[in-house]
Amino acid sequence: MRFVHFFRGCIRNLFISLTSPPSCWRTTNCIINKKIHRSWKQCFFILIFATIFTYGFLYIFALAFTASWTMALPFSSSSIAYLNSKARQEVSNLVEQTPYLWRQVNYTVKERIQAQQDWVVGLSKIADIQPKKIVIEMPSGYFYFTGGGLRCPYAPKFESRCSVEEMTSTRWWFGLGPWRYFFGLEADAVVTIHNEDFRPTFKVPTGMRQVFYILEPPQKWGPGRAPLGYNDALLASYWRGSDIPIPYRQWIPGKDSRQEQRPINKRRLVAAMISNCWSKGRLKYIKYLQQFIPVDVYGSCGSFSCAKSNYSGCLAAIGQQYKFFLSFENNKCEDYITEKFFENALNYDMVPVVFGARPSDYAEAGPPSSFIAVDNYRSPRDLADYLLHLDKNDDKYAEYFAWRKENGEISTGAHADFFCRLCGLLHYADYIPPPSWGGASVTWASVNKCLGKDSVEPWPTE
Smallest Cα–Cα separation from 449: which of 337, 365, 335, 281? 335
Say yes or no: 47 and 88 in one domain. no
**Integer angstrom CA distances of residue 351 from 53, 282, 370, 402, 411:** 59, 18, 7, 12, 19
CA 316 to the chain's CA centroid: 27
Say yes or no: 63 and 150 in one domain. no
Residue type, 307: A
What residue numbers bound the domain in which 401 lies? 252-409
Q: Is 181 domain-assigned?
A: yes
Q: Is 458 domain-assigned?
A: no
Instruction: Say how far apart CA 238 and CA 391 lie, in whole Å.
Output: 33
Confidence at residue 457, expressed as pLDDT on a 0 to 100 scale: 52
Instruction: Name the burial class of residue 446, with classes exposed (0-12), middle (13-18) and buried (19+) by CB atoms within 10 angstroms of its CB.
Output: middle
Yes or no: say if 448 and 175 are a contact pair by the CB < 8 Å rule: no
Q: Is 460 domain-assigned?
A: no
Say yes or no: 219 and 350 in one domain. no
β-partners of residue 296 are 271
Domain count, the chain: 3
Instruction: Say how far apart CA 451 and CA 334 lie, in whole Å.
Output: 9
Three-state secondary-structure class, residue 112: helix
Say yes or no: 18 and 58 in one domain. yes
Per 3-state DSSP, the chain is made up of helix, strand and coil in percentages (nearest 5) of: 45, 15, 45
Say yes or no: 304 and 428 in one domain. no
Confidence at residue 453, expressed as pLDDT on a 0 to 100 scale: 46
Give the domain-ending residue among 41, 71, 101.
Answer: 71
Confidence at residue 330, expressed as pLDDT on a 0 to 100 scale: 85
Say yes or no: 60 and 87 in one domain. no
Say yes or no: 382 and 308 in one domain. yes
Q: Where are the beta strands (DSSP E) in 274-350?
A: 295-298, 322-328
Say yes or no: 86 and 204 in one domain. yes
| DSSP state string for 121-145 | HHHHTS--PPPEEEEESS-GGGSTT
Helix axes 280-289, 380-392, angle to 10 degrees: 60
Q: Is 266 domain-assigned?
A: yes
Say yes or no: 129 and 8 in one domain. no
Q: Is 354 domain-assigned?
A: yes
Give the domain-ending residue among 14, 49, 71.
Answer: 71
Instruction: Say how far apart CA 119 and CA 99 lie, in whole Å.
Output: 9
Planar angle of CA 220, 202, 174, nearest 5 degrees: 95
Helix axes 40-71, 2-19, angle to 10 degrees: 100
pTM of the model as a whole: 0.79
Instruction: Say how far apart CA 55 and CA 59 lie, in whole Å.
Output: 6
Instruction: Name the burial class of residue 371, with classes exposed (0-12), middle (13-18) and buried (19+) by CB atoms within 10 angstroms of its CB.
Output: buried
Say yes or no: 160 and 49 in one domain. no
Q: Is 358 domain-assigned?
A: yes
Residues 31-87 have pLDDT tens digits of 444 444 445 555 666 667 667 767 666 655 554 444 433 333 344 455 555 667 788
Q: Is 13 domain-assigned?
A: yes
Say yes or no: 142 and 286 in one domain. no
Q: Is 386 domain-assigned?
A: yes
Instruction: Say how far apart CA 319 and CA 334 lie, in whole Å.
Output: 28
Smallest Cα–Cα separation from 184: which of 77, 74, 55, 61? 74
Query: What's the 3-state SS for 424-454?
Result: HHHHHCCCCCCCCCCCCCCCHHHHCCECCCC
Give the CATH number, domain containing residue 395.
3.40.50.11660
Query: What does the DSSP 8-state code read for residue 179?
Result: G
Q: What is the mean pLDDT of each run of 10 residues along the chain (462 residues)?
A: 58 56 50 48 63 65 45 46 75 92 85 95 90 87 83 94 82 51 78 70 84 86 78 94 93 70 81 83 90 93 81 90 94 91 92 94 93 94 96 93 85 89 95 93 89 50 38
Residues 222-239 have pLDDT tens digits of 666 788 999 999 999 999
Say yes or no: 182 and 224 in one domain. yes
Give the domain-ending residue among 11, 36, 71.
Answer: 71
